[in-house]
Structure 1
């Protein structure tokens, strides 16, 4: 293939197979391919029945997503190219029927493997099944594909989060032998696995980063026989431009923090302000993935290439910026129904964070639920706080450590694109206006997660002012209550206080006499 071939031209007449196509990144990938590579043949999306919903129902849900509205209005025929393939990433052979397997082997030439569990505290058995065994099964299928020219394996920049030095775009030693881990999971019962999981993880914080690191080695073993690349995004956040500015469909990571602060239920987060918050907007990440698939096919590198799709080295955003900009725009575009006036801060001290959480989140939650029970309403605040704290605990490792990712391969890849492809598939990581982006992120969280119409913002601002008065009034009452309690318990404090009042009274009397004499 010629290097001068553009990305849309490369995908012309080709069929693509995507795992994880119904997930956050997968949806954006499907939409982008259909919109910007209109001459591709088909997109086969692996789907499994979920919560009693069959594949046909999940396919309908995928098309109902707001990001496909432009295609429905302008290129509705493109949506017919999405083909749902029934399967299960955790089952042998991906759970494919013989007919579907034969179809994929015959038709597919580009594969994006994005299916994984992103639940940080997932049990080791399921994490291995999804992130490790699923990858093995997919690669076995890829080896049979007649037309295969490119495979992109989606990993994570944090699979080597145990390192304290710069993290390069290279394969690091595996934390364990992948095959031994698979055998262990297959032989041992759940109780034993839960007991030995901390020993397996060693210096990694969770099963997600552990199994993702192992999966990279499974991929590497096949790199001599398959045209494959590894894609490592950092913290994937809402869209910066496409398919809709601010679009996001889950509460994971920073999105949950923005939503919690915006509702007034989250006021303290354990985080080091001076560390880099390595966000990558989902549309930049997807554009990079598509370019990697193109580059892997047209350049046919001798060795596997790894891409750290990260922003810290090119355009760093710090957690202090996230704190400042986030609160600024949460107050500018307040949520319609807030439980308390938004506020709070990041804490670098665990003790201070625990005390602040107890005082302004946990205790008020119990008070709220107690009043709810007395008035016959459903108590929900304690449960919300428990979920918030559990989610924050799983991310604390990543918000209290400064990660330095090198992204030279991503930067060089962008330079190889034609001007047209750079515009259509932009993943320039050096020109992000983070303040403007956080504004878009806050608006996106409000619209797509909290389901609040932008037209309600003026009304919400009126409500916010009322909450501000209530917030300050409560603080004043608390101060008076504490101060009065202190006076009642200390005769010295009472004496000092009365002396101060007397001095102030005398001063005011003297000033009034002075003003009276001046007027005469």
Structure 2
């Protein structure tokens, strides 16, 4: 977990990163944060012992980094980590701090503050050992439950672990002797069957105990057969179970609670560096695969709101919500969906993302950028057939001819399936109540607003989009800025190839139609 901070050099300067943040709030090399009388949130976390689930996820990494960098005076942080594939919990925990988002704090002795709790939310009682249970019960003062299986296409039995894990975390929290606050991370779409979503609890489609009894009693085939009827208007099992978990949080645990509902979580906007992202899922993955020339059509309404929220702002909102819950002694729900006065549409976002795709092309592009949003479902399906499916079969045919393994058809099937799942959200629009989020921001002091910023009222979407594409290029494709000239050269080649293929296609189509016409005319 130890190591020197990397020199960001040109990359850091291009995104406006200085070696020290403004007003001395923190040192680039991990110095102690300065607290004013208005820095109440940082003061709240002083001497706190935090139990975090979901720490290895995208949001979880940023939560850990933020707390260790900004709130070093916390007592301890226990992070739940499960074994995965061929790696133990201990190996995954060590590797966690090798991610670039931790570069700013690697000179700190992290082993003093952050500790592994080996477990698994998919196992009964989180798969915790007896000693770890006793440790958490005795020491924890703040629980942040961010773990969830977020796949849209998972079975109901797999998704039910979201409910079971939340129940088990709440049961554990009930026995924590010094617990001050409990924060549950949900989703803004947990109640998406309503067009206007308020910051309140909604009636769940099924009580948690009934769902868990159902998945325990029924065999997989029967459960799979009745799942569509159970879901009803809910688009997938993830959303369905997240709605149920909110009701579970409502009815359990008599301590101050906060439920934070982030919308579509995207790459960082400021901290620890702009543009950091660790996965291809979501909007940044869509933009990147479009920039690579892989994705060419998306079913979306251009004028619908795209509720995008930077992951570092989400983390700040969660940490501020915990402070407020402890301060008020109440349970509050926060729809963190951006700012209603500074919204962006799908059409506008993809438009401004396109510019940096041309400006910073990658040498890994496989085709010329020709991505479009299409509102008509039939036209979208036709484009997918010609621009995805047929291209995939042709690419695999070429691979077979040269004696290589086929990959295109399989990957495009996966991509098309993912885009079909996303289309539910890109073809619909919701309005979100934000009163609690705005009130939370207004009650924060000036220093807290600098250290834990989450207001998006003044977000520069053009600048943010530029940083997101640069970040995806660096952190996902592992390409530095000095590869841009090669990328531009390859882009020019792809331009020629693309339009040559387009011209050939229309020429062949014309010849085919002429042949058909002449055949029909001749027969007539």
Q: Same fold (TM over 0.5)?
A: yes
CA contact (8 A) 2:46 2:73 kept: yes
2:489 equivalent in structure 1:
462
2:16 equivalent in structure 1:
none
CA distance in 2: counterparts of 1:241 and 1:62, whole angstroms: 21
Which one has a bigger Cα radius of gyration? 1
1:286-305 equivalent positions in 2, closer than 5 A: 286-301=315-330, 304-305=331-332
CA contact (8 A) 1:36 1:424 kept: yes
CA contact (8 A) 2:339 2:455 kept: no
Tell me the CA shift for residue 492 of structure 1: 12
1:91-170 equivalent positions in 2, closer than 5 A: 91-129=123-161, 131-164=162-195, 166-170=196-200
CA distance in 2: counterparts of 1:96 and 1:162, whole angstroms: 35
CA distance in 2: counterparts of 1:313 and 1:160, whole angstroms: 19
1:509 equivalent in structure 2:
none
Structure 2 CA distance for partners of 1:311 and 1:5, relative to 1, 3 Å:
closer
Match of 2:410 among 354, 377, 383: 383
Tell me the CA shift for residue 52 of structure 1: 2.8
CA contact (8 A) 1:259 1:450 kept: no
1:239 paired to 2:271: no
1:222 equivalent in structure 2:
252
Match of 2:67 among 27, 33, 53: 33
CA distance in 2: counterparts of 1:151 and 1:42, whole angstroms: 16
CA distance in 2: counterparts of 1:438 and 1:136, whole angstroms: 38
Tell me the CA shift for residue 479 of structure 1: 2.6
Give the aligned length: 485
Tell me the CA shift for residue 328 of structure 1: 2.0
Secondary structure, in 3 states, of the residue corresponding to 1:61? helix
Tell me the CA shift for residue 276 of structure 1: 0.5
Tell me the CA shift for residue 493 of structure 1: 13
1:12 equivalent in structure 2:
46
Tell me the CA shift for residue 188 of structure 1: 0.7
1:118-159 per-residue CA deviation (whole Å, 9 max, x = no partner) reads 001111112112x10100110111111111111110011100
1:322 paired to 2:349: yes
Higher helix share: 1
CA contact (8 A) 1:157 1:309 kept: yes
CA distance in 1: counterparts of 2:218 and 2:271, whole angstroms: 45
Tell me the CA shift for residue 490 of structure 1: 4.2
CA distance in 2: counterparts of 1:190 and 1:240, whole angstroms: 42
| Structure 2: stretches of 5+ with no match in the other structure | 1-36
Tell me the CA shift for residue 108 of structure 1: 1.1
CA distance in 2: counterparts of 1:91 and 1:370, whole angstroms: 44
Match of 2:300 among 264, 271, 274: 271
Secondary structure, in 3 states, of the residue corresponding to 1:120? coil
Tell me the CA shift for residue 218 of structure 1: 0.6
CA distance in 1: counterparts of 2:43 and 2:207, whole angstroms: 41
Secondary structure, in 3 states, of the residue corresponding to 1:341? coil
Tell me the CA shift for residue 296 of structure 1: 0.8
CA distance in 1: counterparts of 2:126 and 2:516, whole angstroms: 71
CA contact (8 A) 1:312 1:405 kept: no
- Give me the CA root mean square deviation: 1.7
1:154-204 per-residue CA deviation (whole Å, 9 max, x = no partner) reads 01110011112x211011111112211111111111111101111111100
1:388-418 per-residue CA deviation (whole Å, 9 max, x = no partner) reads 0111111111110011111111111011111
CA distance in 1: counterparts of 2:375 and 2:116, whole angstroms: 47
Secondary structure, in 3 states, of the residue corresponding to 2:335? strand
CA contact (8 A) 2:339 2:457 kept: no
Secondary structure, in 3 states, of the residue corresponding to 2:322? helix
- Indicate the larger mover: 136-145 or 305-314: 305-314
1:88 equivalent in structure 2:
120
Tell me the CA shift for residue 78 of structure 1: 3.7
State TM-score, norm by structure 1: 0.90
Secondary structure, in 3 states, of the residue corresponding to 1:364? helix
CA distance in 1: counterparts of 2:355 and 2:410, whole angstroms: 28
1:334 paired to 2:364: no
1:212 paired to 2:253: no
2:96 equivalent in structure 1:
62
CA contact (8 A) 2:39 2:445 kept: no
CA contact (8 A) 1:327 1:343 kept: no
CA distance in 2: counterparts of 1:123 and 1:26, whole angstroms: 24
Tell me the CA shift for residue 5 of structure 1: 6.5
1:448-506 per-residue CA deviation (whole Å, 9 max, x = no partner) reads 11222222112101110111111122222223333334444446999xxxxxxxxxxxx
CA distance in 2: counterparts of 1:97 and 1:153, whole angstroms: 23
Secondary structure, in 3 states, of the residue corresponding to 1:290? helix
- Indicate the larger mover: 400-409 or 22-31: 400-409
Tell me the CA shift for residue 271 of structure 1: 0.6
State TM-score, norm by structure 2: 0.90
| Structure 1: stretches of 5+ with no match in the other structure | 495-520
1:389-408 equivalent positions in 2, closer than 5 A: 389-408=416-435
